[in-house]
Amino acid sequence: MRKLQDFNSALLGKWCWRMLVDRSGLWYKVLVVRYGETAGQLKVGGRSVSSWWREVAKIKDGVGDVEGG
């Protein structure tokens, strides 16, 4: 089970990296439309935030212990 959590954390980390590097990409634009952007960073809060986006935010903020799948 631990290997699966490590794999999930690695994939979420890749999304964080991708959002930092490729701000002109389609996924970044979709996330800006969906969640908004403030001072050049994507917003994390809100009632309609997906569990995927919450987990990406945890990785981005350095929490690192990803829950679930």
Q: What is the pLDDT of residues 9-46, one digit of tens each?
A: 888 888 878 877 888 888 888 888 888 888 877 777 76
| 48 located within any domain | yes
Nearest to 52 by CA among 34, 33, 69: 69
| 69 located within any domain | no
Report the domain count for the chain. 1
| 13 located within any domain | yes
| 8 located within any domain | yes
pTM: 0.60
Provide the residue range defining the domain that includes 19.
2-60
| 68 located within any domain | no
| 10 located within any domain | yes
Contact 43, 36 (CB under 8 A): yes
53-64 pLDDT, tens digit per residue, is: 777 777 766 655
| 26 located within any domain | yes
Q: 16 in helix, strand or coil?
A: helix
